Structure 1
Amino acid sequence: MLLSNLIHPEISAVCAAAGHHSTILIADGNYPALNKRGPNAKLVSLNLSPGLVSCDQVLKALLSAIPVEAAMTMQTEADGPYALDGDPPVWEEYRKSFKDAGSSVELQPLEKWSFYDHVITDDHVLTIQTGDQQRYANLLLTLGVRMDG
């Protein structure tokens, strides 16, 4: 029986095998998860239906089990159909989740194509596809190290 909030067997196995600097993508429901991932990355689909599960729910489970040293988001667009004025609401959810987990990690927005370039590397070990429909909800986590003693 596991004590963390992360109980998914495949996700737990990848996290256990991953090391420092490995990356995990929490992908929203619109992310092209099949073709925008690293060559070593496992794809786990948790997109049950629109909105289920959310990226923030996945983040909270992961933060209960792994150390995270960096978090990158996809930069919002300034114009066009997906433009937003300011940060997307989901980013505030992420900030709260990091804070509640005792983490000082800050979100690092990257331009869309640069974000994809950061995902499709050898260090990318896992994509967790969600059903989250919020714009700009993709979150790329970089694993840190255990700091026991």
Structure 2
Amino acid sequence: MLKGIPAILSPELLKRLCEMGHSDRVLIADGNFPSHSVGANAHVIRMDGHGVCEILDGILQLFPLDTYTESPVKIMEKVPGDQVATPIWDEFKTIVTKYDSREKAIGSIERFAFYEEAKTCYLIIATSEKALYGNIMLQKGVV
């Protein structure tokens, strides 16, 4: 056991987060995201039974966001015409704002472009999150 480390962060996850360098990205994916096929070249860690928000909050307690880019946090845009509610985005904003005060810290990417960006992530965390469009990508900054 270590002091000051959020309990939700497993030793494997801590190892992978520590391996990441400046500008590397981690995707915390909802339960519908094709984590293993999109993440064929990434490290994929399964965190079944957990939601994206609790993992996001745990990671941001230790993980510096990139200050060299305007929006180091990205979410997937809704498909045009999709009327599904996305209350999880408000939760994302609340959590990110605790750790980064920039107004534009969170940006968005068109769905298929998001999948392409996800293919270049160093790490993908597969969760059991049920919220639709509940995917969030973080770009690591400098400690």
Specify the TM-score bucket, using the shorter chain as the normaliser. Answer: 0.7 to 0.9
Q: Which runs of 5+ in 2 are unaligned?
A: 67-71
User: Which runs of no fewer than 5 residues in structure 1 stay unpaired?
Assistant: none
Q: Corresponding residue for 1:138?
A: 135
Corresponding residue pairs, total: 135
Q: Which runs of 4+ in 1 moved over 6 A?
A: none
**Equivalences for residues 1-20 of structure 1 within 5 A:** 1-5=2-6, 7-20=9-22
**Aligned Cα root-mean-square deviation (Å):** 1.7
Amino acid at match of 2:83: L
Distance 2:31 2:135 in 1: 9
Query: TM-score normalized by structure 1?
Result: 0.83
Q: Which residue of 2 aligns with 1:47?
A: 48
CA–CA distance in structure 2, aligned partners of residues 137 and 61 of structure 1: 16
Question: Percent identity between the aligned chains?
Answer: 24
* Counterpart in the other structure of 1:110: 109
Would the aligned equivalents of 2:27 and 2:137 in 1 still touch at CA under 8 Å?
Answer: yes
Larger helix percent: 2
CA distance in 1 between partners of 2:109 and 2:134 (Å): 13
1:96-148, CA deviations, whole angstroms, 9 ceiling, x for partnerless residues? Answer: 00112344362211111100111112xx21111111110101111110111xx
Q: CA deviation at 1:38?
A: 5.5
Counterparts of 1:17 and 1:103 in 2: how far apart (Å)?
Answer: 26
Return the match for 1:99 from 75, 97, 116.
97
* 8 Å CA contact retained: 1:38, 1:119: no
